[in-house]
């Protein structure tokens, strides 16, 4: 993929901000969006090729206007990356609707709200890349992560469908599944995080995976990816015995 116009949702902090900076350094013009204008402005000040557009992905009307604004200002959207995420640790056996609603509304429905407007723009320009940051947490149901893990599993399933359906329209769908990466979200965790990665390292793997290949899955670090996938492939009696060991004592 050659340099062009990228739009990153969740570009005001964490992985999204690091990806925006790296793309800009490599010659891209990058629009970044998120709810916090001050965070977006701080990232944009770091490079003249980064443009801030404040957006809440739970606001469908604002999404349509933002897509029009970016396409009008920058001409097109060659690479779209959805990286907005809501997360909070949950107690074992707690399935409170209010907690689930916030996480589902951002992580999953945020992608649904934004999909058609972005895809319509890509149709107008003849194609593009539609990428979503899911998580290795979506490979199987993790204890104490019911809301977050289930939204990421839903995204993986959705993106698999989109990859097939959108290929004839010259739109390449990409699924990004990081492990634990240092960020505001992981700072909330009160449990061990194996293979914890630096934000800049994760950003480089994402940008390299998006721009130097067309593969669907960009997942890392490999040791954690294969560990999670191996657990998913276990027979259910073994699987539930193992995940039971993950419960706090």
Cα distance between residue 50 and residue 98, in whole Å: 35
SS3 139: coil
Cα distance between residue 28 and residue 97, in whole Å: 41
Stated as kind and residue range, the H or E segment containing 242 is: helix 236-244
The answer to whether the CB of 224 falls within 8 A of the CB of 137 is no
For the chain, the farthest-separated pair of C-alpha atoms sits apart, in whole angstroms, at 55
Which of 113, 157, 159, 105 lies closest to 132 in space, CA to CA? 159
Q: Of the listed 53, 108, 139, 148, which one is catalytic? A: 148
148 part of the active site: yes
Cα distance between residue 105 and residue 102, in whole Å: 5
The catalytic residue positions are: 148
């Amino acid at each position: 993929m050659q340099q062009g116009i990228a739009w990153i949702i969740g570009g005001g902090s964490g992985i999204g901000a690091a990806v925006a900076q790296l793309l800009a350094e490599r010659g891209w013009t990058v629009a970044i969006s998120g709810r916090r204008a001050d965070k977006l402005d701080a990232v944009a000040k770091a490079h003249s090729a980064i443009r801030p557009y404040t957006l809440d992905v739970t606001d469908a009307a604002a999404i349509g206007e933002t897509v029009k604004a970016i396409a009008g200002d920058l001409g097109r959207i060659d690479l779209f990356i959805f990286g907005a995420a809501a997360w909070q640790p949950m107690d074992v056996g707690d399935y409170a609707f209010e907690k689930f609603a916030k996480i589902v509304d951002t992580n999953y429905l945020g992608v649904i709200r934004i999909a058609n407007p972005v895809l319509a723009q890509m149709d107008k320009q003849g194609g593009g890349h539609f990428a979503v940051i899911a998580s290795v947490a979506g490979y199987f149901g993790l204890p104490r992560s019911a809301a977050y893990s289930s939204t990421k599993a839903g995204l993986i399933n959705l993106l698999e469908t989109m990859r097939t359906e959108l290929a004839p329209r010259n739109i390449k769908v990409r699924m990004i599944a990081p492990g634990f990466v240092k960020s505001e979200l992981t700072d909330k965790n009160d449990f061990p995080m194996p293979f914890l990665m630096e934000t800049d390292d994760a950003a480089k793997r994402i940008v390299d995976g998006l721009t130097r290949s067309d593969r669907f899955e960009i997942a890392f670090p490999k040791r954690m990816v294969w560990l999670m996938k191996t657990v998913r492939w276990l027979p259910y009696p073994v699987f539930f015995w193992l995940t039971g060991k993950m419960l706090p004592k």
